[in-house]
Amino acid sequence: DVAVSDEEMARRQAQWTMPPYKATRGTLYKYIKSVKNASEGCVTDE
């Protein structure tokens, strides 16, 4: 539970932007771009 109104939550979601990647090249960048999230199995070879 959060003590934030639905309107405030909608406003925050509308303003949210994805933060920049911590790596912009190299092996870590390739990993960041290719791995899926845990709910999809973290697969990297598709």
Q: How far apart are CA 9 and CA 5, in angstroms?
A: 6
The pLDDT value given to residue 46: 62
Asked whether residue 4 is domain-assigned, the answer is: no
pTM: 0.48
Average pLDDT for 15-36: 90
Q: How far apart are CA 18 and CA 11, in angstroms?
A: 15
Question: Is 21 in contact with 31 (CB distance < 8 Å)?
Answer: no
Average pLDDT for 4-32: 93
Q: How far apart are CA 7 and CA 13, in angstroms?
A: 10
Q: How far apart are CA 22 and CA 32, in angstroms?
A: 9
Asked whether residue 28 is domain-assigned, the answer is: yes
Residue 41, pLDDT > 80, answer: no
Tokens for 1, please give them: 């539970």
Range of the domain at 27: 20-46
Asked whether residue 5 is domain-assigned, the answer is: no
The pLDDT value given to residue 36: 77
Average pLDDT for 12-33: 92
Asked whether residue 38 is domain-assigned, the answer is: yes
Number of domains the chain contains: 1
Asked whether residue 43 is domain-assigned, the answer is: yes
